[in-house]
Amino acid sequence: MWQRILAILAARNREFYRDSAGLIWNLLMPVMMIMAFAFIFSGEPRALFKVGVIAPPTQATTSGFLATPHIDFIPVTDDNAAVVSAITKVQRHQLDLLLDMRDIPAYWVNPDSANGDLVERLLLGAYAQQDQANSDSSPQRRAAAGEALSYADWVLPGVLAMNVMFSSLWGVGWVVVRYRKNGVLRRLKATPLRPIEFLSAQVLSRLIVVLTTSILVYLGASLILDFPMRGSYTTLLLVYTAGALCMISLGLTVSARLRTEELADGLLNLLSWPMLLLSGVWFSMEGASPAAQTLSTLMPLTHLVDAARGIMIDGASVLDILPQLGLLLGLATLLLVVAARFFRWE
């Protein structure tokens, strides 16, 4: 019995370590992930609280509330839109407190926020220390009530985008390589079919699949969760379509000439995993190192996630997400041209 087990074991092991593409991926991926996490979070240790400050003093202060350690003081420009946006953030628990230093010192705090409560005490304590004699100089309190955004609500747009990415890359990239390997493309090469016709059909087919599944997932999620959708459905559909087109074109570019599925698999993994980690799908990149944040902006998935989140959570309009839309569609066009140019039937 053992002889048989060992024989099959040996054959399977040989199969494994001789599959160089698979082997590299198995060894490399965990290393890459560790490196990625180290890289992402290689910045300064994160602050405990986030406080917005409207019209902060130009000189750095060494005493008073603004000198409190372990607080991230984020400047807010003195215009109506920025202030309103900041107040909304307090309502959503994205800012723990908003300090107004314009004429009369005032602050907004969310009565439902535990963090807000603590920062408020720090603020009042700091002011009390500064002006021990004058009890009238404490800043005015303004309530900005609102529910916290749950993690599920925050992560949903990213998860939909992630689904779009995987479905687009593998549904097209891997499939075309498999066709090439099996001889399907060679059979088609002998017909009057032209590469651009073939590729367009693949793009459209995958687009239909991706959008349909995304809609179904969205509907399914809306039955289970009660997540915000403050923007218009048309805009959301538009941005996911642009994202899908971009990812599909990326998949086509990868598969334009590859002949082995293992290599295609490896390359697609190499593209999708960094995007998965660095695009703000699972955690916000705001606390990441500047280098990681730069890398994040180079990835199309980041922009799709940003736009989708903006629409669902902040109610962004088409105009608001126009930059992301333009970038996704522009990249999609560029990649499609490249894919058509480099495409080989064999």
Contact pattern from residue 307 through residue 346 relative to other proteins, giving x for each residue in contact according to CB under 8 A and a dash for the rest:
--------------------------------------xx
107 or 179, CB closer to other proteins? 179
C-alpha distances in Å from residue 68, one per residue of 47, 54, 96, 119, 310: 11, 17, 14, 10, 31
Residue type, 325: L
Contact pattern from residue 183 through residue 212 relative to other proteins, giving x for each residue in contact according to CB under 8 A and a dash for the rest:
xx-xxxxxxxx-------------------
189 or 257, CB closer to other proteins? 189
Nearest distance from residue 192's CB to other proteins, in Å? 5
131 or 346, CB closer to other proteins? 346
69 or 192, CB closer to other proteins? 192
Nearest distance from residue 187's CB to other proteins, in Å? 5
Sign of CA dihedral 234, 329, 36, 22: positive
179 or 227, CB closer to other proteins? 179
Q: Which of 259, 291, 261, 294 is nearest to 170 (CA)?
A: 261
Nearest distance from residue 92's CB to other proteins, in Å? 48
Cα separation, 345 vs 310, in Å, equals: 41
Q: Which residues within the stretch 150-189 sit at the binding site for other proteins (CB under 8 A)?
A: 179, 182-184, 186-189
Helices assigned H by DSSP within 113-194: 114-130, 151-168, 175-182, 184-189
Nearest distance from residue 14's CB to other proteins, in Å? 27
* DSSP secondary structure letters along 29-95: HHHHHHHHHHHHT-SSPPPSEEEEEES--SSPPSSSGGG-TTEEEEEE-SSHHHHHHHHHHHHTTSS
Nearest distance from residue 189's CB to other proteins, in Å? 6
Q: What are phi and psi of 97, to 5 degrees?
A: -160, 150
**Is position 63 an interface residue for other proteins (rule: CB under 8 A)?**
no
Contact pattern from residue 100 through residue 139 relative to other proteins, giving x for each residue in contact according to CB under 8 A and a dash for the rest:
----------------------------------------
189 or 289, CB closer to other proteins? 189
Nearest distance from residue 178's CB to other proteins, in Å? 9
166 or 345, CB closer to other proteins? 345
Q: Which of 138, 83, 91, 95 is nearest to 112 (CA)?
A: 91
Binding-site size, other proteins (CB under 8 A): 14
b/e sequence 36-60, b meaning 16+ C-beta within 10 Å: beebbeeeeeeeebbbbbbebeeee
Cα separation, 112 vs 215, in Å, equals: 34
140 or 182, CB closer to other proteins? 182
Nearest distance from residue 181's CB to other proteins, in Å? 9
Nearest distance from residue 257's CB to other proteins, in Å? 16
Cβ within 8 Å of residue 128, ≥6 positions away? 135, 138
DSSP class of residue 173? I
Binding site for other proteins (CB under 8 A): 179, 182-184, 186-193, 345-346
